[in-house]
Amino acid sequence: MGSPQYDGAVSKNADVVGELTGEASNLIWNTYRGYTSAVFDHAELEHFVRMNVVVVLGCLERGSNPTPSELVHARELGELRARQGVPLESVIQAFRSTERVVLLHVERSRIAPTGTERIERALSCFDALTNSMIDAYRDASSALDAVRARAEEELTTALTKGLAVDQHDIDRWADVLEFDPARACLCAVLELAVSADPLASQRFRRRAVTALTASMNGPVISRASDGVIVLFLRADEGPSSGSLDLIMGGLIGTKDCRAVYLGSTVPSLRSGYESYRHAVKVRDVALGSSEGPRVWHYREVLLDVLLCADPPARGEFVRSRIGALINRPQLLDTVAALADCNLSQARAASQLFVHVNTVALRAKRISELTGRNPLVFDDLVELYLAARHRHELEPTTSFHHAGGDGDPRVTRSSGV
């Protein structure tokens, strides 16, 4: 860049202003996050860069700092960038890029007074502009956060309570939260650890939302309530089910989360209550299971959900299928192993760390006690499903071990 001389009307020299504006704009555009055509037009960037250049050159010309009126555009810019969702760090970097261009110009211009005075004046001007922008950005961000928090609270309350809401309200909330209400979505309920304190829960909530927002390439709506975090996610974009499981599994791996329950995919946000209701049903099934922490899917537990819909029938089903096994954990474990291993006795034996003959003996004993053969597919399905709800039956017997296949010999508390 050249070193043009200007004669006391620096801020009005269109050639200088245009040259500095173009150079700074080129340094900024497509360099910092948010400074792309996907967010706003390049012409808008040039407008505000030009305003900064004009203010600083004008201050150098008259030898004073910016007046309050000269800082108005910086406040307007801060509020605008906050509304556009451009990170504050990016906006600050944009100001610093313009500052660098102007300082280089000042050094090369050799206009009196020379030395550090003009450099210090330019730095003071940019500090004033940057601070005004930052203050306005933070004020706008705080206001926007409050609006978003209220919209998120209202929307999640409606979706989790099944409230009848007008489509206009759904659209208004979704617009504030930048969530397309017409896209398919699903609900996830994250079970918090019992020891999680409120601050830790809030930190975990932010961490979960951040991780999922980045992976789903879209917004995540959240709500914390009664030891759980409820999330509504876009289901038609982002990772596959396997990838989503991987992300959720990572959350379970932390000390703050015990399990994740995923509801069904519904066609739109307006149907979110249905997905939430299904996630709650999954949670009910999981809480009665003896399985460890994992990601639970609604589609995986449909039979369990059907059983849970009629508690008396469920209790009778469990008693009639595995009532005789309730105090025989080895036999119940064998049922689970045979199901996991697709009826393969050899693989079940390996899983249980016993001899294959032990599995055969246990299968025979199960058949004798229940009237259902765990080596027959239909019978095994009923036994396995009932075993998943074994919590329905309270132990009523005591037992001691006795030789052979390790099967406990039962002595009923009634003495029979």
91, 81 Cβ separation under 8 angstroms: yes
Q: What is the pLDDT of residue 368?
A: 94
Please tell me the chain's helix, strand, coil percentages from 3-state DSSP, rounded to the nearest 5.
60, 10, 25
**pLDDT for the residue numbered 345:** 94
Rounded distance between C-alpha atoms, residue 173 and residue 179, angstroms: 8
DSSP string, 356-382: HHHHHHHHHHHHHHHS--TTSHHHHHH
Are 167 and 121 spatial neighbours (Cβ–Cβ below 8 Å)? no
Of 77, 17, 28, whose CA–CA distance to 53 is shortest? 17
141 half-sphere exposure, CB direction, 13 A CA radius = 14
> pTM for the complete prediction?
0.67
Distance CA 337, CA 387 (A): 12
The residue type of 361 is: L
Per-residue pLDDT tens, the chain, 416 aa: give them: 333 333 344 445 788 999 999 999 999 999 999 999 999 999 999 999 999 999 999 998 888 999 999 999 999 999 999 999 999 999 999 999 999 999 999 888 766 556 678 899 999 999 999 999 999 999 999 999 999 999 999 999 999 999 988 999 999 999 999 899 999 999 999 999 876 577 888 888 999 998 888 887 779 999 998 889 999 998 865 445 567 888 888 888 778 888 999 999 999 999 999 999 999 999 988 887 777 788 999 988 888 888 777 778 878 888 899 999 988 999 999 999 999 999 999 999 999 999 999 999 999 999 999 999 999 999 999 899 888 888 777 554 333 333 334 443 333 332 22
d(CA 410, CA 63): 98
Task: Work out whether the CA dihedral 361, 362, 367, 370 comes out positive or negative.
Answer: positive
